[in-house]
Amino acid sequence: MTKTPNNLIDANDTYDTIIVGGGIVGAGIFRDLSIHGVECLLIDKKDFASQTSQTSSKMLHGGIRYLETYNFGLVWEALHEKNLWLQLAPHLCKELPFHMPFFKESKHPMWMIKMGLMLYDFLSSYKNSPHKMLSKQNTSNALPRLKTKDLKGCGVYYDVIVDDSKLALETIYDGLVNEKCHALNYTSIIGFTHNSDGTCTGELTDELTKETKKITAKNVVFATGPFTDQLLDCLKNINWTPQMVPARGIHLWLDHKTLPIKYPMILMTKDGRVVFVIPQKGWVLVGTTEELAEGDLFDLVARDDEVDYLLESLKEYFPDVLIEKTDILSTFAGIRPLVRAGKSVDIHNTSRHHKIIKPFDNTYVIMGGKLTTYRLMGHKITKEIVTKNGLKFSADLTKVPFRRPSVIGPFDPLSELSESDILKIVKSEKVKTFQDLVRRRLGLPARSHLKTQQNFDKFFLPLVPELSKYIKITEDDVKNWK
C-alpha cells in the first residue's frame, strides 16, 4: 500500500476516524484531527470542494446583515476568524473596502448605517480597518457608474475576499502532512453499520472505478452540508429526522470592462435581499439569489429567471450601464446548508449557527454554519475524539499557516503557468479529472474567462498524453470544455 493512497482500494482497512464530506467543514475537521495526531480518512462523493464550498460569494466576513437580528455573538466570532485568516493565509485572502450606498428611499438612514458600522468595528475588537462614511460627491467619485438620483452617501467597511474552493483544498493538503491521514475524492459511503464492539463500518464505493471496500473506524463524522438529509435517509441503520433547509442561490461573473467598478458593493434589492458586487481577478462577481431548493442538489446550474433577477438588480443601481445576458462570462449555482428552526422550512428565519447531532456515541453529524467560521465549527467534535485517544486537545493548534500551499494561488495570473506546474499539480493536489484541474486547482470558472481562448487548447492539448497517466482526460475533454 502506498503511503498516501489515491484510490479506495489502497486505503487502510481501519482508521480511528472517517470523515464523510470533503467540503470546507469536513476539511477543517480533517486538518484539526491530523494536527492533533489522530489517524483519519476524509472522503467525498465528488471532487473536494466541488459543491457548496465553491459556490459561495467568496468572502470571509462577519455578516454585517446579521446585526439587524442582534446576532452579535456570531458576528464577533466571524470577524475574529476573518482577521485571523488574513494573517494565516494572505496568499488566499485580500481585505477590500466594501461600499454600501444609501438613497432617499433606502431602508436604513445614514445614522443607522453609521451606528451599524461602528458596531461592526467594535465587534472585531477594532482589528478591522476602520469604517468611514462618504458624502454623495465622494460616493460618486468612488463609484462613478452608480446612479446619482436620490443618492445620499455611502458607508464603507472592510471584509475579505477569498477563493472558497482553494481554501478548502489547502486545508486538506495541510492535513495530509500527517502521513497517517488520507483523503479520497470520488469516494462515497453507501452503507453504514454501528457494530456491537462500539466501532462503525462504512461500505464505500469508488465513483470512478466502481470498486467497493468496507472500512472500520472508531468514529465517523458526517460533514455533508446540504446533502445531509438525503444521505442519512439512505443509510438505513441511522434513525434520522430531517434537519436541513437547503437554500439555492446563484452567482454570475462579468468581465470588468462590462461593469468597471473599483470597489466591492452591497446592493439592497426591492424585495429586501442583499446582492454583492465584487471585482476580483479582472472579473466581477454578482450574487446571490435565495430560494428553497428541491430535488437533486448536486451540480446545479443557474436558471434564466435567476439570472434575470440579478441583472435587474444591477440595472436598478447602474441604469446607464447596459448589461445583457451575452455579457455574462459564466454562472454558477449552489446550496447553502441552512438548519431548520424547529419544524420551519422558511429559509429567511433559519439560524446561521451550526448544529451537531450524535446518532450514536461515536457518530457525529455537523450541519449549518458559515464558511468564515469553519475552523471553529468542529472543535467540539475534534476535542472529544482527540481526548478519546488519550491526547491533549488545543484549539490553538490550527492557528498556524498552511504547511502545504497549492502550486498556484487564486490571484496568480494563469498566463504564467508552465507544463511543470501542471504536472506538479496533478501529482500532488488530488486531481482526478480535467474539471478538477481547471476549475478548482487553477481557479478558472469557464473558457469564456480567458482573454485568448485559442491559447487554452494550444497549451493543454500537447499535455494530454502525459496528463492521462495521472488523471481522467482526453483531447475531447479539452476541446469541449466551456
Which of 72-86, 88-102, 439-453 bottoms out in mean pLDDT, i.e. has the lowest? 439-453
Closest CA to 234 of 386, 20, 42, 405: 20
Which amino acid appears at position 142 of this protein?
Answer: A
Any idea what the Cα angle at residue 298 is, between residues 176 and 32, rounded to 5°? 25
Rounded (10°) angle between helices 379-388 and 24-35: 30
- Sequence ranges of the domains in the chain: 8-53+165-243+352-398, 245-339, 414-480
pLDDT tens digits, 84-124: 999 999 999 999 999 999 999 888 889 999 999 999 999 99
Query: What distance separates the 2 farthest-apart alpha carbons in the chain?
Result: 72
User: Contact 301/331 with Cβ under 8 angstroms?
Assistant: yes
Using the 8-state DSSP alphabet, how is residue 213 labeled? E
> Same CATH fold, 245-339 and 8-53+165-243+352-398?
no
**Residue 2 scores a pLDDT above 60:** no
User: Contact 159/62 with Cβ under 8 angstroms?
Assistant: yes
Residue 344: band (very low, low, confident or very high) from pLDDT cuts 50, 70, 90: low
Question: What's the pTM value of the predicted model, to 2 decimals?
Answer: 0.95
The pLDDT value recorded for residue 350 is: 67
Q: Which fold has domain 245-339?
A: D-Amino Acid Oxidase; Chain A, domain 2 (3.30.9)
User: Contact 63/373 with Cβ under 8 angstroms?
Assistant: no
Higher confidence at residue 333 or residue 414? 333
The pLDDT value recorded for residue 379 is: 97
pLDDT averaged over every residue in the chain: 93
pLDDT tens digits, 456-470: 888 999 999 999 999
Q: How far apart, in whole angstroms, are the C-alpha atoms of residue 141 and residue 188?
A: 52
> Does 1.20.1600.10 match the CATH number of domain 8-53+165-243+352-398?
no
Q: How far apart, in whole angstroms, are the C-alpha atoms of residue 337 and residue 329?
A: 27
Question: 212-215: long-range contacts (C-beta < 8 A, 24 or more apart)?
Answer: 212/8, 213/8, 213/9, 213/11, 214/13, 215/11, 215/12, 215/13, 215/14, 215/15, 215/18, 215/41
The pLDDT value recorded for residue 348 is: 64
User: Contact 25/369 with Cβ under 8 angstroms?
Assistant: yes
Please give the helix or strand (H or E) that residue 318 lies within, else none: none
Q: How far apart, in whole angstroms, are the C-alpha atoms of residue 435 and residue 460?
A: 13
The pLDDT value recorded for residue 1 is: 34
Mean pLDDT of 394-418: 85
- Percentage of the chain beyond pLDDT 90 is 84
Q: How far apart, in whole angstroms, are the C-alpha atoms of residue 81 and residue 62?
A: 8
pLDDT tens digits, 158-188: 999 999 999 999 999 999 999 999 999 999 9
Q: How many contiguous H segments (helices) and E segments (strands) does the chain have?
A: 14, 18
